[in-house]
């Protein structure tokens, strides 16, 4: 394997890693924007914004676990 081949492989692997990181960041940012929009819509309609937030949260989110345990509707 020549040095030229090693450089090409290193560049390709670096591009894949950078693209993966960028994709995950883009997904997370768009997810938060959507959640923000839905919470704003819920507040304008008189719904509880915490319940909308909890619909996006993971099952081990302590705020939503406490909210559910309190029995608020």
What's the pLDDT score for residue 73? 56
13-70 pLDDT tens trace: 999 999 999 999 999 999 889 888 888 888 888 888 888 888 888 888 898 888 888 8
Cβ–Cβ under 8 Å, residues 41 and 48: no
Q: What is the pTM of this model?
A: 0.64
Which residue, 63, 31, 29, 30, is CA-closest to 49?
Answer: 63
Domain that holds residue 41: 3-70
How much of the chain is helix, strand and coil, in % rounded to 5? Answer: 80, 0, 20
User: What domain count does the chain have?
Assistant: 1
Rounded to an integer, what distance in angstroms lies between the CA atom of residue 10 and that of residue 8?
A: 5
pLDDT surpasses 90 at 11: yes
């Amino acid at each position: 394997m020549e040095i030229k081949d090693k450089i090409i492989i290193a560049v390709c692997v670096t591009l894949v890693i950078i693209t993966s990181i960028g994709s995950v960041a883009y997904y997370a940012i768009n997810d938060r924007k959507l959640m923000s929009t839905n919470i704003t819509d819920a507040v304008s309609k008189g719904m509880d914004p915490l319940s909308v937030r909890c619909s996006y949260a993971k099952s081990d989110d302590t705020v939503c676990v406490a909210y559910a345990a309190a029995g608020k509707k």
